[in-house]
Structure 1
Amino acid sequence: MAGTKFAYVRNFELPDSVIPSVYLVVRIDGKGFHKFSASHSFLKPNDPAALELMNESARYVMASLKGHISLAFGESDEYSFLLRKSTTLYNRRNSKITTHIVSLFTSAYVFNWNRFFPDTPLKMPPSFDGRMVVYPNEQVVRDYFSWRQADTHINNLYNTTFWALVLQGGLTEQEATKRLEGTVSAEKHEILHEQFGINYDRLEAMFRKGTTLVWTHAQAQTIGGGIDAEEDDASDAEQAKPVLTNAKDEKLRIKIQAKRAAKQAKKQEKKERKNLTGVLRTLHCDIIGDEFWTPAASEAVSTAAPASVPASALTSATSSRWESSIGDSEKTATEATVADGGMTSSRPWKDPARLQVAGLGTSVFLD
Structure 2
Amino acid sequence: MSPVKAQPAVAALDSHRTLAISPLLSPSLLRHELPADELVADCVTRSRAEVVDVLDGRDDRLLVVVGPCSIHDPVAALDYAHRLAARAEQLADRLLVVMRTYFEKPRSTVGWKGLVNDPGLDESFDVNRGLRTARALLLDVLSLGLPVGCEFLDPITPQYISDLVTWGSIGARTAASQVHRQLVSGLSMPVGIKNGTDGDVQVAVDAVRAASTRHVFMGINPDGLAALISTSGNPDAHIILRGGSRGPNYGAADVSAALDRLTEAGLPRRVIVDASHGNSGKDHVRQAEVVADLAARIAEGDRDVTGIMMESFLVPGRQDLGPDMAYGQSVTDACMGWDTTSALLDELAAAVARRRG
* TM-score exceeds 0.5: no
Higher RCO (CA 8 Å, separation ≥ 6 residues) = 1
| Larger radius of gyration between Structure 1 and Structure 2 | 1
Greater share of helix residues, 1 or 2? 1
The TM-score with structure 1 as length reference comes to 0.28
Q: Please, what TM-score do these two structures have when normalized by structure 2?
A: 0.28
